[in-house]
Chains A and B, each alone.
Chain A
Amino acid sequence: MMRLLMRMLIIMLLFLCTGCWDMREINYLAIVNMTAADIDPKTGKFIAYYQVINPTSMSAKQSGPTKASVYTYTVTEESPGLLTEKTNTVMSRMLFTPHLQCYVFTERYANQGLRDLINYLEQFTDRRTNVYAVVTDAPLQKVMYSFTPLDRIPGRNIRMMMDWQARSLGMSRRMTQLKDIVEGIPLSRPTIVPMLHFHGDGQASQSDRVESIDAIEPGFELADGAVFLQAKMAGKVDRDTMTLFFVLNGEASKSFDNLKVNGAHVDVEANHIKVKRYWGKSRLRITIHSNLKVLYNGQKSPLTARNAHQIEMAFNKSFQKQADQFVQLAKQKHWDLLGIGDTKQGRGRWRDFDVTFDVSSKATVFGNTRTPYQ
């Protein structure tokens, strides 16, 4: 009996030897770093760009084509589900997406709505949605066919840029990931996604690009924001509004401002911003408290407590004004930028709320000069 069992066991183990179904050798992978999606306005077909890392360019021991850090593949299909299969026709390696750093969408595609794409991405776990997303107003060819200096992989470049911006805004979470758009679908508050601009006429598609000293042109710029409602792009806001959006919703704790005090320019950084909301009936009072760090002081007079107070007052006033404009903008565009509609108090009637701001600040850091040189 035992011998029979042993034989059965061996047969079962042999059965395992036919295994390795999911084996994929690391050097047979096309490691996708950045993906872009667009829609062909004429045919309505879905166009996907895959930017694939060229591993040999990354290693210390260089062999093979080493200068180009990435290659971009383009695939066109009727619907997103068939894209992966279609890549076989142009790629010699297996599409490997878990290392995606960034999604890029064109404005026209974002205007149409990302819901189809999101459903496609969330369905299988080798695709990911906790990846940065940006919307670009430039033609996609330019963006996807450009090498970037310093961080030679464009996807990583954009990602690091966004991480760095988020850090300088004191954000505790990532700036915008695709899943934020997903989570924003049922909410009344829109999601704001950074926009990618492109400088320069032609694309920088030759790897010689990285030998040029001019890092700006041709190149990317990450500024401004695209507003998404129900996974559909509804409009654009400028960079300051986007910052304010993060600050007033309690997601960022820093902002920057250029003030006029006694007729001179004073630049400040507001940090440790604390935002609190007090609800009344159809009234919302938001208190904002922050510490100020003076980054530049153009005043010719020595610093005094009184002067510091003037700076604080100027900041309060300026911030209040910006905040009021922010609310105006929201009402005018019909965007619930403060997320009032997502709360118990304001569900379904966010427009009826009268929002007031109460700004207070304390100047804490002045740097190394007490009295400016005359």
Chain B
Amino acid sequence: MDNRELANANPVVLNPSDLPTRKRLSASQHGEGKSSSIFSFPTTTLSSDPLYHSDVSEASDSDVESDAEDIDEQEIYDLIATMSDPEHPITLGALAVVSLPDISIKPTMPHRPESPLRTVTVLVTPTIQHCSLATVIGLGVRVRLEESLPARFRVDVRIKEGTHSTAEEVNKQLADKERVAAALWNPTLQSFIKKMLETCE
């Protein structure tokens, strides 16, 4: 590469096994998680025969309300933790740039409980105090969330307090819709963000 001067050439990396995941959460909620059995095959030949199942309703595969799964913090985390850092081929999760406790979802209008509007707040922790790419990372997170969340979600991305030397300035940029929109027309930024999003699958 032509530019070997990175903002932070040597960040601390976490192991993927230590990052929060959906299964771990559900395991702590419901006691034990069901392990997938190595002996899984249908116990009877009946189960695959449509002629014996024609009149059985597909209860297991329908939208019963109790199955509804709301968008929660973990889901937001999963959306952005797999993005990669613009400098390293390492995910934002492994670099602890985003972390589960720094994500919150709140009703946008708390005085109207029936309103479906929600505000997602994500606090970004740059790997070093003076990271010049903090804005790009914040912008990338913003883009990812705006693409991936339904319209009723308002996205608020900020630099976590006390983790960056020019946090205030960066936050202003990130909160300014017009500046964000203008920034996204910048081809350099576009390619940065495209690169960050490549690992999200």
> Are A and B physically bound partners?
no
Could you list which residues of chain B lie within 8 angstroms of chain A, going by C-beta atoms? none
Could you list which residues of chain A lie within 8 angstroms of chain B, going by C-beta atoms? none
